[in-house]
Structure 1
Amino acid sequence: MTIADGPLSVVKVGGSLVSDPDRLRAVLASLADGAEGRAVIVPGGGPFADAVRASQASLGYSDALAHRLALDAMGQTAEVFSELEPRLAIVRSIEAARAHDGVGLWDPVGLRDGHPDIPETWDVTSDSLALWLAGALGAARCVLVKSAACSANVSPDDLVRLGLVDRGFPDFRRYFPGEIVLRGPNAPFHPDTLPEATERSGCLETEFEGSQRSLRLSYEARQCLSSRDEDETRMSGSLARGHAA
């Protein structure tokens, strides 16, 4: 069975892994090798999101704008991950993510204009967005790759009370009825032994780490790429239907 034939996973790779380059490269290479099978990777915002938090604290702009800039930060991390592991292609729309039959990197630029199910506040970070995407794609599991360990028996509600996940995380579970898996620093990927979906486990969200950096990618450029992705997806579908006929 090839990667394309297996169940889909959504894999959140935290931006905090930027502080551990060796592990980050190993994780991305393992995913590209098929460690989680067919997958869409959700990147954290990492140091780019830190820059948004710092500039908002200094300038006092709205949480709605900060949310949109944090989405940009995730897109920037996707660009970094793709350069570190060129086998990972960036997908910039739900349609492109659904049609991709390998392992892709999600740039959430398509959410920048807003979505009725996603509050534009710091209550929602990339972990909640990973759950939302897993539900939207009908994924079998949502895997959270973290820089810190977490007991599988700790519930998301408990982790919120401990300040370890964003406050929106328990609510976003309603979008995803499948399995949630944690991959901490002592739980490496094993490409030859894909996990079976069994039961939901606890999860951990760590604080964003890294230096403050300026945002480099423009929304307009990524929006154009998103539109191109959708056009290519529709074209591929049309060609497939033509061959089928």
Structure 2
Amino acid sequence: MRQSLSVVKVGGSLVADRARLCRLLGALADGAEGPVAIVPGGGALADAVRATQGALGFPDPLAHRLALDAMAGMARIFAALEPRLAVTQDPGEGLAAGRVPVWDPSALEVGYPEIPENWSVSSDSLALWLATRLGAGTCLLVKSADPSPGAGPAELARAGLVDAAFEGFAARFPGRIVLRSLSGDRLCREAVAECAA
């Protein structure tokens, strides 16, 4: 496992505070968290998909693919706000080239058996999926909401701070999961133990 790498999920809800979002993206580009791959939340773009599905009733797999497109759109927005970020479908390649990648998850639209194509999966679980694939040591979720101290994946899901599939993805991720909000870091109790060899 590459302990120095962190996958950082930047919540779409943070777009409500442009100055804070720009400071965060700038700090990540400056290396404040070491080598990172950034996962954008879908934010209002994903909310529009959910609302449109509610109004028109199209199937979940289509909504899932449109939500991935929303994340891809946010990746491009992040790169427009912080030009040192490089939008890529392959963050590993971006890291190897010495770039700070922001992930465009569009390639997931072909379907992966381990990723349910419904609203039980959001960018939180996808960040864990990517962190596992990249061999990251840490998955950092930056959110506007403050998690309860010591809450594990199941409690976080019940509180609505992460998606319903998060617990299963957390069980497969061998690194640390850190939730950061306006009040600082909270470690996700059930998934923070460092991996034994």
> TM-score with structure 1 length normalisation?
0.72
Aligned partner letter, 1:176? F
Counting matched residue pairs gives: 189
Structure 2 unaligned spans of 5+: 191-197
Distance 1:122 1:55, change over 3 A: same
Give 3-state SS (helix, strand or coil) of 2:170's partner. Answer: helix
Aligned partner letter, 1:42? V
Structure 1 unaligned spans of 5+: 189-198, 204-245
The 2-side partners of 1:152 and 1:108 are apart by 31
Query: CA RMSD, aligned part only?
Result: 2.1
The 1-side partners of 2:80 and 2:129 are apart by 26
Q: 1:36 maps to what in 2?
A: 33
Q: 8 Å contact 1:97–1:106 — kept in the other structure? A: no
Alignment pair present for 1:130 and 2:127:
yes
Alignment pair present for 1:87 and 2:110:
no
Q: 8 Å contact 2:6–2:35 — kept in the other structure? A: yes
1:1-245 alignment, distance < 5 Å: 7-93=4-90, 95-97=92-94, 99-187=96-184, 201-202=188-189
Q: 8 Å contact 1:42–1:130 — kept in the other structure? A: yes
Tell me by how many angstroms 1:94 deviates: 5.5
Give per-residue Cα distances to partners, 1:99-131, cap 9 Å, x unaligned. 343321000011011011101010000000000
> In terms of Rg, which structure is larger?
1
Give per-residue Cα distances to partners, 1:109-167, cap 9 Å, x unaligned. 11011011101010000000000000000001000111011134011111222333211
The 2-side partners of 1:177 and 1:124 are apart by 19
Question: More relative contact order in 1 or in 2 (CA 8 Å, sep 6+)?
Answer: 1
Tell me by how many angstroms 1:8 deviates: 0.9
Name the one with the larger strand percent.
2
The 2-side partners of 1:177 and 1:97 are apart by 23
Runs of 4+ in 1 over 4 A off after TM superposition: none
Give 3-state SS (helix, strand or coil) of 1:37's partner. Answer: coil
The 2-side partners of 1:47 and 1:55 are apart by 12
Tell me by how many angstroms 1:185 deviates: 1.2
Q: 8 Å contact 2:11–2:142 — kept in the other structure? A: yes
Identical-pair percentage: 55
